[in-house]
Amino acid sequence: MSSRANARPTMRDVAQVAGVSLKTVSRVINGEAGVADPTAARVARAIAAIGFQRNDLAASLRHGRSSGTLGLVIEDVANPFYSVIAQAVESAARARGLMLITASAREDPHREHELVAAMLRRRVDALLIVPVGGDHRYVAQGAGRVPAVFLDRPPEQVDADRVLIENAAGARRAVEHLLEHGHERIAVVSDAPELYTTRERLAGYRAGLRAASVGDRSALVRAGNRTAVQAQVAVTELLTLPPRERPTAILTANNRNTVGALRALAGRRRRPSLVGFDDFELADVLGVTVVRSDPALLGASAARLAFGRLDGEDGPPRHLEVPAELVARGSGELAA
Amino acid sequence: MSSRANARPTMRDVAQVAGVSLKTVSRVINGEAGVADPTAARVARAIAAIGFQRNDLAASLRHGRSSGTLGLVIEDVANPFYSVIAQAVESAARARGLMLITASAREDPHREHELVAAMLRRRVDALLIVPVGGDHRYVAQGAGRVPAVFLDRPPEQVDADRVLIENAAGARRAVEHLLEHGHERIAVVSDAPELYTTRERLAGYRAGLRAASVGDRSALVRAGNRTAVQAQVAVTELLTLPPRERPTAILTANNRNTVGALRALAGRRRRPSLVGFDDFELADVLGVTVVRSDPALLGASAARLAFGRLDGEDGPPRHLEVPAELVARGSGELAA
DNA sequence: TTGTACGCGTTATCAG
DNA sequence: CTGATAACGCGTACAA
C-alpha cells in the first residue's frame, strides 16, 4: 500500500509490496549486481504491479553530479534557421542520454538572462546559448558553474567556447559574385545593426566593394529590418529610387530579409539580382542564389564542444567557425 | 566557507556566511515575510558574495507538487509545422512559469514511449504529445499519472484530451475547389497511410469525389511519401502517365509532400492545378493554393487544455478541433 | 522575528 | 546476497 493514497508510488512502496528492503529495490532498478534472481523477480513484479517509475529528480539530487539535461537558449524556435539548430542539438543530446530544455529569448537580453538563470537553477549539465547582447560575464561567474557554449554570435565582455558562421567572408563572397556579373550599385538589406551577425555581414559587404574600388554605397545600406515585413518595405523603397540611384542587385543579410525581399519582388517585371544570406526551403524552386552555411553543423559542433567540457577537457576557450558557400541558382546571376 | 571545495554553494553555505539559520535564508530567497530588514540584507549580501543559486530540483522534490516543467513530444522540431507548435507551446509554458522539455519521436513508436517515460521520470507537470501510433494506454495508466494532451493526432486504444485539425473537411474542401474549376482527374499525394492525418485527409478526398459522383480515382492515390524527395518522385510519375490517365490537378496532403510536388513541377511548361494541405512560408510568393490551419492555435489550445487539468478541471476527455480554410493563390485555380 | 526537527525519494556506506 | 541508516538541498510544521 502507498503511504498516502493517490500519490506516485515510491521505492519504499515497492519494497513493502515485494517484502524486501529499500536498497534491494534500488539495486534491481539500477541493474546492480548482487541480487538473487528470485528476489529480483519479486521486485520486478511489485514494480509492475503498482506502476512505479523512478523519480530522476531525487536521484540526481542524491548523487549530485548530473541532472541529465541540456539547456538551449535560442532566438526563436519558429525560425527555420534556429529550429534546425535545435534539431541537431536534440540529436546530440539524445545520443548522450540527455534531455533538452529549449527556450526562446526573442532578442531580449533581460529575458535571456532570466532563462539562463532558470536553467541553472534547474541544474542543467551544460548550456548552449545564442546570445542576444549585453554583458555575458554572468555565465562565467559563480562557483560550480556549468559549461557554456555560444552559438551563432559571440558572448560579450567575456571569452568563452563558441561556434560562429563565416559571416564576413560569406557576405563578401556574395558581393564579389554580384560584381562579377557586372553589378556596381549593390544594396544590402539587413537585420538590426546591433547584432553581431549583421555587423559582420555588413563589414563583408563593404570589404567586397572596397576591394573592387567601388565607391561609397552607404545610401544603399538598409539595416534594422527585424521582420520580413520590414524588409519588404525596405526593398520596395529601394526599387522606387530614381533609375540612376536604384540598385541593380540586392544582398539580403538573413533569411527573414530574403523572404521580405522575395515578396517585394514578386510580380515585378524587371527584377534586380538577388543573393540571400542563409539557405531556405524552396530556394531551389524559386531559383534564389544564396550564401549557405550549415545550421545543423553549427548546433552539432556546439554540443560537441559542451560535451568535451563535461568530459573534462580543459584549456582555453575554443573558437569554431562553420563555412559559408555561395550556391548559384539564378537570381544572383542576372546581368546588371 | 563551502562544506566541500568547488561545489555549488547551498543554502547552508549562505547561512553560515550570513551568520543566520537555514530557515532564515529560505525565507529571504522565497520572499517570505517576517525577516528583519538588516537580517535580510545580510543574507542577500552573502548570497551575492558566494554566488548562490537555488536548486530547483531539491525544492520541487521537497514540496512534491510541481517540477515546473512541461514535456512536449513532437515528430520533428525541424519541420516548420511542428516548430510553430513548439513555439506556441513554449509561449504558453512561459506565461505559466514552466520550462519546456522538447523531444522528437521521429515516427518511431518505441522512441515515443521512451521519451514519454523519460519525461515522466523527470516529473514533468504535464505532457503534450503528437502520438506516433501503437498503444497509448500507457499514458493513462499508473498511479499519480500526469495530465496528457494529444496534438494533431488522437491517441490509440484510449480516450484522452486532444486537439486535432479539420483534416477530412479541409481535404474535402480542396477537392471541391478543384472540381469547381473543372477538374475530374484529381490525384492525391500523401504521407504514410498509417498516419491518422493521412487517413482522414484521404477520406476527405474520397468523400469530395463521391459527392460529385466522380468515379473511382484509386489509380491517382499515391500514399506513403514520407519525405519531400519521395513526393517529388510520386508527382513526376503522375506527370508521365498517358494523357487521358494523367491528373489535371493534384492535392498534396502535407507540407513535405507539397514541397516535393513543387520541385517536380518546377520548370514544367504545362502544370496541373495544385492545392497543398498545410500553409508554408513563401506559399504566397509561389502562388500556391493551400488548405491552411493554425499550428500555433493547435499548440496553444493543447497547452490550455493541459493547464486546465493542472488547475483541477475534471470531467471527460475534451476533444478540440482547429479549423482549416482554403486560401486561393493561383495554383489551385488553373482550368482543367 | 528567528530557529529546530523532520521529510521529500533516491543513492551510498557499511554492516550483517 | 541483503538491509539499516545517513545524506543530497530544500521547504514545512512547530516551537522559542
**Which nucleotides along chain D are within 7 A of a protein C-beta?**
1-13
Contact B80 A263 (CB under 8 A): no
- Average the pLDDT over B243-257 and give the result: 97
User: Which residues of chain B are within 8 Å of residue A86 when distances are taken between CB atoms?
Assistant: 77-78, 83, 102
Q: What is the DSSP string of B68-136?
A: SEEEEEES-TTSHHHHHHHHHHHHHHHHTT-EEEEEE-TT-HHHHHHHHHHHHHTT-SEEEE---SS--
Residue B334 zone, left/alpha/beta (φ > 0; ψ -120 to 50; rest): beta
Whether the predicted pLDDT of B158 surpasses 50: yes
Question: Smallest CA–CA separation between A12 and chain B, in Å?
Answer: 15
Distances B172 to B153, B168, B188, B203, B291 between C-alpha atoms, Å: 18, 6, 12, 8, 10
Please check whether residue B78 touches A, CB under 8 A.
yes
- What's the pLDDT at A32? 83
Establish if A331 touches chain B: CB-CB under 8 angstroms: no
CA dihedral of B316, B111, B94, A142, whole degrees rounded to 10? 140
Closest Cα in chain B, distance from residue A216 (Å): 33
**% of chain B residues with pLDDT over 90:** 78
| Min distance A61 CA to chain B CA atoms (Å) | 6
Task: Indicate the SS3 state at residue B66.
Answer: coil
Is B118 part of the contact surface with chain A (CB cutoff 8 Å)? yes
Task: Sort out which chain A residues have CB atoms less than 8 A from B86's CB and list them.
Answer: 77-78, 83, 102
Going by C-alpha positions, the residue among A284, A263, A310 that lies closest to residue A71 is A310
| Residue B216 burial (CB count, 10 A) | 10
Q: What percent of chain B has pLDDT over 70?
A: 97
Nearest CA to B122 out of A123, A95, A216 is that of A123
Nearest to B99, CA basis, from A311, A7, A183, A73: A73
Instruction: Return all residues near A239 (Cβ < 8 A) that are at least 6 apart.
Output: A246, A264, A265, A268, A272
Q: Which residue of B78, B142, B284 is in closest CB contact with A83?
A: B78
Chain A neighbours among B 138-167 (CB < 8 Å)?
141-144
The most distant pair of C-alpha atoms in chain A lies apart, rounded to whole Å, by 90
pLDDT in tens, A44-59: 999 998 889 999 999 9
Tally A–B CB contacts below 8 A: 159
pLDDT digits (tens, 9 = 90+) for B202-230: 999 999 999 999 988 889 999 999 999 99
* Chain A residues 55-74 with CB within 8 Å of chain B: 55-58, 60-61, 64, 67-69
| Protein CA A37 to sugar C1' C16 (Å) | 21
DSSP string, A138-151: HHH-STT---EEEE
Q: Is the pLDDT of residue B1 over 50?
A: no
Of all residues in chain A, the one with the smallest CA distance to B122 is: A56
Give which of B53, B113, B138, B314 to mutate to test A binding, by max A Cβ within 10 Å.
Answer: B53
Q: Which residues 255-314 of chain A have a CB within 8 Å of chain B?
A: 259, 262-263, 266, 280-282, 284-286
Is any Cβ of chain B less than 8 angstroms from the Cβ of A6?
yes
Selection from B258, B152, B167 nearest residue B208 by Cα: B167
User: What is the reported pLDDT for A143?
Assistant: 55
d(CA B211, CA A110): 57
- Asked if residue B160 lies in contact with residue B312, where contact means CB atoms within 8 angstroms, the answer is no
The per-residue pLDDT for B259 is: 98
The ranges of chain A with pLDDT < 50 are 1-4
Does residue B335 sit at the A interface (CB-CB below 8 Å)? no
The model carries a pTM of: 0.94
pLDDT tens for residues B28-73? Answer: 988 887 788 888 888 999 999 888 999 999 999 988 778 899 999 9
Cross-chain residue pair A78–B86, CB shorter than 8 Å = yes
Gap between the Cα atoms of B22 and B3, Å rounded: 14
* Nearest CA-CA distance, residue A44 and chain B, Å: 15
Quote the minimal CA–CA distance from B79 to chain A in Å: 8
Best residue in B115, B285, B288 for a mutation probing chain A (most A CBs within 10 Å): B285
What is the pLDDT at residue B2?
A: 38
Three-class SS of residue B317? Answer: coil
As beta bridge partners, residue B290 has: B276, B327
Question: Hey, is the C-beta of A104 within 8 angstroms of any chain B C-beta?
Answer: yes
Q: Say whether the CB atom of A10 is under 7 angstroms from strand C.
A: yes
Element (H, E) at A285: helix A283-286
d(CA B146, CA B123): 9
Question: Where residue B4 falls among pLDDT bands split at 50, 70, 90?
Answer: very low
Closest of A123, A85, A58, A125 to residue A306, by C-alpha: A125
Within 8 A of A282 by CB-CB distance, chain B residues are 259, 262, 280, 282, 286
CA B23 to C1' D14, whole Å: 13
Nearest to A282 among B8, B120, B282 (CB): B282
SS3 assignment for B200-257: HHHHHHHHHHHHCCCCCCHHHEECCCCCHHHHHHHHHHHHCCCCCCCCCEEEECCHHH
Q: Do β-strands B99-104 and A99-104 pair in parallel, antiparallel, or remain unpaired? A: antiparallel
A10: which nucleotide lies closest, measuring CA to C1'? C9
pLDDT tens figures, A137-182: 888 776 567 999 999 999 999 999 999 999 999 999 999 999 999 9
d(CA B267, CA B247): 18
Residue B44's nearest CA partner among B20, B65, B66, B64 is B20
- Which candidate, B29, B21, B68, places its Cα nearest to that of B48? B29
Residues 62-91 of A with CB under 7 A from strand C: 62-63
Nearest by CB: B284 against A7, A90, A263:
A263
